[in-house]
A = this chain, B = another copy of it.
């Protein structure tokens, strides 16, 4: 890592901190929940909000791509005034996770609240906060360098359905391949290892989500008149879910591990060097979990980063109201998701799940299976000049050595990479594991958003200065 001076960028970020926060709060009020069709108008409103804000910032090209099937995405481009400058594409998203269970939020999720350095709202970290710091970073870059156009051509792609698995990003990328052409893609939807330990991500898990419904009798049956003599779909479903793992925590779908690229010994050593405090991680506000558990033979970080998993995300069937209702329920449903690692193949996992369900469907039960398209896993080349520049920019912004980590979550990064002709990826995110993304009471550190803006401002300068090192495409 090279030491880089970011005094000017930092000053320009600080000078704009008040307006930055006010505008981010305004954006966070829009409940852009892509998973819920009732909120698709809000997703559109969120895109329009961002488009207007980018125009106000001075971006020469701003478009809201709202031609379906994808929910509205925002595209912007600010060309460099240097005709030989490389082109960088920044990826983020403006849709957010659902908010249930709503009663567990201490403050309404779409009424942003600032307490000291903390900003609370759904999307504060994942991912509106990240997109917002790119706006701030561009303005700081121009002001700090005295330029009227950035040192590199910067494009933004801010998607509208990342939290729904980016299910329509492929046609979006194909329809706009020309506009999105770039030399490197900077991904800003991840985080650092923890506050005080900045890091950059070198890979993400992929994901397949699925749902299985078991249908038994045509109506809920009286458990006294029928119980014990007909198959109970909720019992059958419980057996299916219980059968997804063996006693060592290994996933029992056929062929599940066939394509897994095991981490190298060097990688396992590097992960072990991170200051990971498992007890604190378990007890922390982001987890509050009472034990570590998972696949035997792997550390907790390895279980999250380099091992594939199967989780049941939701389970429901029969009576849920007060008191009891003594029925054999007519149906029961499980929502499940599989986190995948390189080089697992989406279609093969989907086939494995369908075969697993078929093998666990007893006589008298009809199974309905839905498997979503999913997102593949991806990896970043840590020696690529763009990754090195991100490392230097982050080091300047955080004033500390930047380590390597991975991300257990999933995103459309692998699709961006493949659809844009194998473009290299570099990750620049400032979220922390304490941000409660996807959970009630999501929050973000405002100082970390500032650090993200500063790193971005420095990064555009460094990529301009090092333009000759960067392979063009």
Contacts and interface: CB of A to CB of B under 8 A. Distances in A.
Q: Which of A229, A321, A332, A365 has the most CB of B within 10 A?
A: A229
Contact of A287 (B221, B241, B290, B311): B221
Nearest to A291: B364
Nearest to A231: B293
Contact of A339 (B165, B228, B249): B228
B319 A98 contact: yes
Contacts of A342: none
B289 A217 contact: yes
A225 interface: yes
B234 A245 contact: no
A209 B324 contact: yes
B223 A324 contact: no
B242 A209 contact: no
A291 B215 CA distance: 12
Given A100-B319, A319-B314, A364 B439 contact: no
Interface in A136-167: 164-165
A442 to B, nearest CB: 10
A319 B424 CA distance: 35
Contact of A408 (B217, B224, B249): B224
A223 B315 contact: no
B237 A239 contact: no
Interface string A288-316: 11111111000010011001110111111
A interface SS class: loop
B228 A235 contact: no
A230 interface: yes
A235 B245 contact: yes
Interface of A: 34-37, 97-98, 100-101, 104, 164-165, 205, 207, 209, 211, 216-232, 234-235, 237-245, 249, 282, 285-295, 300, 303-304, 307-309, 311-329, 332-335, 337, 339, 362-366, 372, 407-410, 433, 436-441
Given A35-B325, A221-B289, 9 more contacts: A217-B287, A223-B309, A223-B339, A226-B304, A230-B289, A230-B291, A232-B312, A235-B311, A290-B364
10 contacts: A97-B325, A218-B289, A224-B304, A226-B287, A315-B318, A316-B317, A325-B335, A326-B337, A327-B438, A327-B439
